[in-house]
């Protein structure tokens, strides 16, 4: 008897894309329809559309400390800091976005309504000392469970980078929802730029509209500025 490949359910396909996604490597970030072959009960091979990938345009957050002393900045944290002074950051910290016409409070509220997973963070600053400052990730649920972990920025710096004002963080998958917030100490007279690339985003309201609630993104396209070093050939 001929063995027939079982058709994957939509839920199984989404899990495959979130956990594996090897088939999406090296894509340039535009919208894609990816097809896989499957056999129906009649043994006919037909293309079956998989989930569309969207270009991974980053959320851009600009943090500025114009004062003469180091201050703590808080990024995100809708549930805890929406109604707090300066959204939880020390007085003097200024947080804006890199998107024209988008205020930081709008980005903050969006993170609670449309939770997402981070696939890549690019950090830029003219102050190289600032780039050595660790970032603390905090998460707490409604039952009091609290998690906190440290991102050591130095381990992400490549010895082959030509631009010393950039650090690319691409090894930590961080879930951002209303309870997630990032903390970092900002040096005096320092501005720092965060480009946050989403991995996938969830809009539960899309289920009510008959749409897929999970929006998946292609790999972030960033130029790390690294150069290739080849060993010199020794004659003789």
pLDDT of residue 86: 98
C-beta neighbour count of 54 within 10 angstroms? 17
Q: Indicate whether 146 and 80 sit together in one domain.
A: yes
24 domain-assigned? yes
Single out the residue in 54, 74, 90 at which a domain terminates. Answer: 54
Q: Indicate whether 189 and 81 sit together in one domain.
A: yes
132 domain-assigned? yes
105-109, 168-172, 230-234: which has the highest mean pLDDT? Answer: 105-109
Q: Indicate whether 172 and 63 sit together in one domain.
A: yes
pLDDT of residue 24: 36
Decide if pLDDT at 41 tops 60.
no
Range of the domain at 28: 10-54
Decide if pLDDT at 34 tops 70.
no
Q: Indicate whether 65 and 132 sit together in one domain.
A: yes
Decide if pLDDT at 218 tops 60.
yes
Q: Indicate whether 21 and 132 sit together in one domain.
A: no
Can you list the positions of beta strands (E) in the chain?
35-39, 45-49, 53-54, 59-65, 71-76, 94-97, 116-124, 135-140, 146-151, 166-169, 174-176, 181-186, 190-202, 214-217
172 domain-assigned? yes
82 domain-assigned? yes
Q: Indicate whether 45 and 107 sit together in one domain.
A: no
Residue in 151, 150, 161, 154 with CA at minimum distance from that of residue 132: 154
Q: Indicate whether 82 and 22 sit together in one domain.
A: no
Q: What is the pLDDT of residues 134-157, one digit of tens each?
A: 999 999 877 778 889 999 998 888
Q: Indicate whether 134 and 34 sit together in one domain.
A: no
Q: Indicate whether 37 and 124 sit together in one domain.
A: no
Q: Which helix (H) or strand (E) holds 208?
A: helix 205-208
**Judging by DSSP bridges, how do beta strands 190-202 and 94-97 pair with one another?**
unpaired
**Comparing 33-37, 66-70, 80-84, which segment has the lowest mean pLDDT?**
33-37
Give every CB contact of residue 112 below 8 A, 6+ residues apart in sequence: 78, 79, 177, 178
| % the chain with pLDDT above 90 | 48
Calculate the average pLDDT of the chain.
Answer: 78
Which conformational region is residue 76 in: left (phi greater than 0), alpha (psi within -120 to 50 degrees), or beta? left
Q: What is the pLDDT of residues 15-30, one digit of tens each?
A: 455 444 433 333 333 4
Partners of 45 in the β-ladder: 39
pTM of the model: 0.71
Number of independent structural domains in the chain: 2
| Average pLDDT score over residue span 67-83 | 97
212 domain-assigned? no
37 domain-assigned? yes
Q: Indicate whether 108 and 14 sit together in one domain.
A: no
Q: Indicate whether 179 and 68 sit together in one domain.
A: yes
Alpha-carbon distance 223 to 227, whole Å?
11
233 domain-assigned? no
pLDDT of residue 8: 55
111 domain-assigned? yes
For residues 177 and 4, the model is more confident at 177
Partners of 71 in the β-ladder: 186
For residues 71 and 30, the model is more confident at 71
| Average pLDDT score over residue span 119-136 | 94
Q: Indicate whether 112 and 30 sit together in one domain.
A: no
| Average pLDDT score over residue span 31-51 | 46
């Amino acid at each position: 008897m001929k063995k027939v490949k079982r058709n994957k359910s939509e839920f199984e396909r989404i899990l495959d894309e979130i956990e594996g996604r090897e088939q999406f490597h090296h894509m340039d970030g535009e919208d894609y329809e990816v097809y896989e072959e499957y056999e129906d009960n009649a043994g006919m091979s037909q293309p079956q559309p998989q989930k569309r990938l969207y270009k991974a345009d980053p959320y851009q957050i600009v943090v500025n400390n114009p004062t003469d002393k180091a201050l703590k900045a808080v990024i995100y944290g809708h549930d805890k800091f929406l109604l707090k002074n300066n959204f939880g950051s020390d007085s003097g910290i200024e947080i804006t976005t890199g998107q024209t016409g988008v205020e930081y409070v709008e980005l903050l509220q969006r993170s609670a309504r449309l939770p997402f997973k981070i696939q890549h963070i690019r950090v830029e600053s003219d102050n190289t000392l600032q780039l050595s400052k660790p970032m603390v990730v905090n998460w707490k649920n409604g039952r009091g469970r609290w998690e906190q972990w440290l991102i050591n920025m130095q381990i992400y710096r490549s010895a082959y980078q030509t631009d010393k004002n950039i650090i690319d963080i691409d090894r930590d998958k961080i879930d951002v929802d209303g309870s997630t917030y990032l903390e970092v100490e900002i040096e005096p007279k320092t501005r720092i730029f965060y480009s946050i690339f989403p991995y996938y985003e969830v809009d539960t309201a899309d289920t009510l509209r008959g749409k897929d609630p999970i929006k998946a993104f292609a790999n972030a396209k960033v130029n790390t500025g690294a150069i290739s070093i080849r060993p010199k050939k020794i004659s003789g």
